[in-house]
Amino acid sequence: MTYWYEGPLAAFDTETTGVDVETDRIVSAAVVVQDAPQTLPRVSRWLVNPGVPVPAEATAVHGLTEEHLQRNGRWPAPVVFEIAEQLAEHAARGRPLVVMNAPFDLTLLDRELRRHRASSLDRWFPSVPLRVLDPRVLDKHLDRYRKGRRTLTDLCAHYGVELEGAHDAAADALAALEVVRALGRRFATRLERLSPAELHTLQAGWHAAQARGLQSWFARNGSEETVDTEWPLRPQMPAAA
């Protein structure tokens, strides 16, 4: 019997102008598909001219300058259409979608669809829902008492996954996919009987609990920072906000 973590998986990642899902933009994206462990992945890449300034601090992370994106990037509208189309195709084929810190990348994609296509991400999944596997949520739940940070780089080091070219969308997507496979193998007794659909539902609850715990920690330390409990997609903010 082949368990879900040994079967076909897709993964999605973006690089952006910043970390605010409501106002920042996608500058590059990738979807990676792997049919089984150790098989050659198939990669789709997009480079985007966001039409807005690219801050130097964002360029320092992913290496994409405003000038490079203006010369080589495509306009956002067709790109976000193609990305959503691919994600819907993978959902229809029953491939779970790996997204590290899903509420960031999926919400940003949703806002770009609203901005450029007068659409939304959920409209692409009217009959076959998206099944998301978030290595950050899974790791925090399955190994909750381990100390230390849990960035993608940290998870790769912990689970023995090679990450070449961090902050390249395709490299990060493939690494997140491999981390999920490694998580599945390490925690097989707890995961192998669960389907991706069941895991998707469970992760929503796990993320909410993790967010409430972090919110409590902020409150105890006098921070006013708020933590969103929604997963894998944050609801649209009211226009007044």
Going from the N-terminus, what domains does the chain have, and what CATH number goes with each?
Answer: 4-196 (3.30.420.10)
Q: What percent of the chain has pLDDT over 90?
A: 94
Run of H or E residues at 133: strand 132-133
Structure tokens given for 5: 């973590």
- Rounded Cα–Cα distance for residues 87 and 121 (Å): 10
Q: What is the mean pLDDT of the segment spanning 22-28?
A: 98
What pLDDT digit, counting tens, does each position of 128-180 carry? 999 999 999 999 999 999 999 999 999 999 999 999 888 999 999 999 999 99
Going by their DSSP bridges, the two strands 97-98 and 9-16 should be labelled as parallel
Q: What is the mean pLDDT of the segment spanning 22-37?
A: 98
Q: What is the mean pLDDT of the segment spanning 180-192?
A: 97
Q: What percent of the chain has pLDDT over 70?
A: 98
What is the pLDDT confidence band of residue 1, given thresholds at 50, 70 and 90?
confident
For position 240, what pLDDT does the model report? 40
For position 224, what pLDDT does the model report? 85
CB 24 within 8 A of CB 108: yes
Phi, psi of 220 (to 5 degrees): -65, -25
| Average pLDDT of the chain, as a whole number | 96
Neighbouring CB atoms inside 10 A of 62's CB total 19
Residue with tokens 């469970």: 202
